[in-house]
């Protein structure tokens, strides 16, 4: 955004639409006045977009119309002109094959709406897993002043006096059903108990993680990430965010001033300290790419080794997001790990991260531990490498079984998801608790969209025998709510000829998390011979968005963004009417 000649106040983009007395200026004003606005709204008020991912197809975001109204109150009160618009919404439960197939589409839609419309700033309303990174990526690329208001977690699940966390506990119960230890009646009861309100999942899954990382990046107001969706303070925070957005426009506070290398490192630190979702790694790498920064997986591991997990939240720990908020939430976590953070990073309220957390307090040490007595001595997630994952793989060690973190076992290979479904519960399947379950063709191109299929089910016959965890490997992702010794994001994926494609039934595989190794125990010559004979699978799409996705999606270690979307904005959003002027008459 350019500065005006009169001082440091940035020129309003919207004046290029509404500030002219010519035919186009009249048209821009007159057509918007069809919505009932008076001429006063065009007298130099900054236009604040409210980018809403509300949808009835996405229960996690179903309350965001109400949140938008609160944002509008704040915008009007601060002298702005709010205009709400909707984009595609990515509902994790209903959208198939996976929302990850559409994260980049939503990011593109957000970016192009911010660029093409007369917006001086934007408040981003998100919630469910991919809506948050998609909006962050789009806003980073458009680079107009932007502030995020995540929708917050839903109320905790309650069943027969027990607290249940979305995803995490449902998976445990399903294993109990498959093992014959839970009745059909009990299973049906849970359906009405697990999701008791709008809002995102109640554990430290991907949605909670990404909301926390948005705050750690400085892209929300302080204390915004974890307020429950239905808590009145969520709406008060939304109102305040609307007010603040008007000031951010006046200050020219754009994402490029906040999304610095220091802010990204803060986000990685926080991710490790909260036992965040493995998905956060893909999203942060993609976001870094949008501001022209390279974020290698090795940096995540370096930070993980020296950042303990201190948030005692499912799936790594015991508690739920409501407990986290009441215990002091993310500000309390950041205060505790403040010696490890870049405290001078600029945030959306115009203050530094250090200023924001200076008075944060912890009110429940069972939920938020200390650096001296953490939940786990290292960060939640590790990066593995080896001949099976030359470009890296990811494992959430905080939710894994300690006895499996060093493990050697024989591969039981499933060629794709259909093969897995067909054979996993076959009584004849040759598998025991020491086997390593391997799923191929579940990566960005192979599945397509890298679905959350990496939480391979434990074979029913082993569940019945009391087996609770096994080592599982794939080029897929897992839900942030998942638990177990599960290696995911193996790169390059099998569908592009990564070494995973060469694994055969009965091969020995070695996982060594302390030394960060993942090895297929065959000779280099044998591996090369197998890969030379490998044939790529047929592409899933011949036309449309799917074809574009397959042609341009990057691998997991590169963030699964499209190759043509990486790179910092060069101010394209600032002056669309100067670059592409309306005809003079
Ligand atoms: Fe939306 Fe879990 S399904 S956050």
* Residues 51 and 122: beta-carbon distance below 8 Å: yes
pLDDT value of position 4? 43
pLDDT of residue 572: 66
Q: What is the pLDDT of residues 37-67, one digit of tens each?
A: 999 999 999 999 999 999 999 999 999 999 9
Ligand 1 atom nearest to 93, measured from its CA: 3
- As a whole number, mean pLDDT of residues 250-269 equals 97
Taking the CA of residue 51 as centre, how many other CA atoms within 13 Å lie in the half-sphere pointing to its CB? 36
CATH number for the domain running over 381-532: 3.50.30.80
Residue 10 banded pLDDT, cuts 50, 70, 90: confident
Question: What's the pLDDT at 3?
Answer: 40
Q: What percent of the chain has pLDDT over 90?
A: 93
Q: Which residue has the tokens 């986290």?
A: 324
Percent of the chain with pLDDT over 70: 97
The best mutation among 57, 62, 92, 133 to test binding of ligand 1, ranked by most ligand atoms within 8 Å of the C-beta, falls on: 92
**pTM (whole model) above 0.85:** yes
Mean pLDDT of the chain: 95
Chain region(s) in the chain for CATH 3.40.50.2300: 45-155+197-357
Cα–Cα distance, 447 to 185 (Å, whole number): 34
How far away, in angstroms, is 346 Cα from ligand 1 center? 29
At residue 573 the predicted structure's pLDDT band, cuts being 50, 70 and 90, is low
Q: Which residues in the chain are classed under CATH 3.50.30.80?
A: 381-532
* The pLDDT value given to residue 574: 63
Could you tell me the distance, in angstroms and rounded to a whole number, from the CA of residue 447 to the centre of ligand 1?
Answer: 21
* CA of residue 455 to ligand 1 center, whole Å: 16
Q: What is the pLDDT of residues 372-423, one digit of tens each?
A: 999 999 999 999 999 999 999 999 999 999 999 999 999 999 999 999 999 9
Pick from 161-170, 259-268, 284-293, 426-435: least confident: 161-170
pLDDT for position 577: 77
d(C-alpha 135, C-alpha 123), whole Å: 10
**Rounded-to-10 torsion of CA 288, 290, 291, 294:** 40
| Contact between residue 58 and residue 130 where contact means Cβ atoms under 8 Å apart | no
- Indicate if the pLDDT at residue 1 is higher than 50: no
Tell me: the pLDDT tens digits for 503-517? 999 999 999 999 999
SS3 534: coil
- Give the Cβ contact number of residue 37 at 10 Å: 13
- Specify whether the backbone of 544 is left (phi greater than 0), alpha (psi in -120 to 50) or beta: left
Instruction: Say how far apart CA 25 and CA 17 lie, in whole Å.
Output: 6
Asked if CATH classification 3.40.50.2300 holds for the domain at 45-155+197-357, the reply, yes or no, is yes
The two tokens of residue 442 are 């579940």
């Amino acid at each position: 955004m350019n500065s005006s000649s009169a001082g440091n106040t940035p020129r309003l983009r919207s004046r290029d639409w509404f500030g002219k007395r010519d035919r186009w200026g009249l048209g821009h004003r007159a057509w918007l006045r069809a919505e009932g606005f008076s001429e006063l709204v065009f007298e130099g008020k900054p236009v604040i977009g409210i980018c809403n991912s509300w949808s009835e197809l996405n229960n996690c975001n179903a309350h965001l119309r109400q949140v938008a109204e609160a944002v509008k109150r704040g915008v009007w009160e601060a002298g702005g002109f709010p205009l709400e618009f909707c984009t595609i919404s990515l509902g994790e439960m209903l959208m198939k094959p996976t929302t990850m197939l559409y994260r980049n589409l939503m990011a593109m839609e957000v970016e192009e709406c911010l660029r093409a419309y007369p917006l001086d700033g934007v408040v981003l309303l998100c919630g469910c897993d991919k809506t948050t990174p998609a909006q962050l990526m789009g806003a980073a690329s458009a680079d107009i002043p932007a502030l995020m208001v995540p929708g917050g977690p839903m109320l905790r699940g309650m069943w027969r006096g027990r607290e249940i966390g979305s995803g995490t506990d449902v998976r445990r119960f399903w294993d109990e059903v498959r093992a014959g230890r839970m009745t059909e009646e009990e299973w049906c009861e849970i359906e009405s108990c697990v999701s008791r309100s709008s809002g995102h999942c109640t554990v430290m899954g991907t949605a909670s993680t990404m909301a926390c990382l948005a705050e750690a990046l400085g892209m929300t107001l302080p204390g915004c990430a974890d307020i429950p969706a239905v808590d009145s303070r969520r709406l008060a925070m939304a109102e305040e965010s609307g007010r603040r957005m008007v000031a951010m426009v006046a200050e020219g506070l754009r994402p490029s001033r906040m999304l610095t290398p220091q802010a990204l490192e803060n986000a990685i630190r926080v991710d490790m300290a909260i036992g965040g979702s493995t998905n956060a790694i893909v999203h942060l790498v993609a976001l870094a790419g949008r501001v022209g920064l390279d974020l290698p997986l090795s940096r995540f591991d370096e930070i993980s080794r020296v950042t303990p997990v201190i948030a005692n939240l499912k799936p790594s720990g015991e508690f739920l997001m409501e407990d986290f908020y009441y215990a002091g939430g993310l500000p309390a976590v950041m205060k505790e790990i403040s010696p490890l953070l870049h405290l001078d990073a600029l945030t959306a309220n115009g203050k530094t991260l250090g200023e924001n957390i200076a008075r944060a307090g912890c009110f429940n040490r069972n939920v938020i531990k200390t650096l001296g007595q953490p939940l786990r001595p290292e960060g939640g997630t590790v990066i593995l490498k080896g001949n099976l994952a030359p470009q890296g793989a990811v494992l959430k060690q905080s939710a894994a079984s300690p006895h499996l973190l060093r493990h050697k076992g024989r591969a039981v290979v499933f060629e794709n998801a259909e093969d897995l479904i067909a054979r996993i519960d076959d009584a004849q399947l040759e598998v025991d608790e020491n086997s390593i379950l391997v799923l191929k063709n579940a990566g960005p191109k192979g599945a397509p969209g890298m679905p959350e299929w990496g939480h391979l089910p434990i074979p029913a016959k082993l569940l019945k025998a009391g087996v609770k965890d096994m080592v599982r490997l794939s080029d897929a992702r897992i839900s942030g709510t998942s638990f177990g010794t599960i290696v995911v994001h193996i790169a390059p994926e099998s569908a592009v000829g990564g070494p995973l494609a060469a694994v055969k039934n009965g091969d020995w595989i070695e996982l060594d998390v302390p030394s960060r190794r993942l090895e297929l125990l065959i000779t280099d010559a044998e591996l090369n011979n197998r890969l030379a004979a490998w044939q790529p699978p047929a592409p899933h799409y011949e036309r449309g968005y799917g074809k574009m996705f397959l042609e341009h999606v990057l691998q997991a270690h590169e963030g699964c963004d499209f190759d043509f979307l990486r790179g910092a904005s060069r101010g394209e959003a600032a002056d669309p009417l100067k670059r592409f002027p309306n005809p003079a008459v």
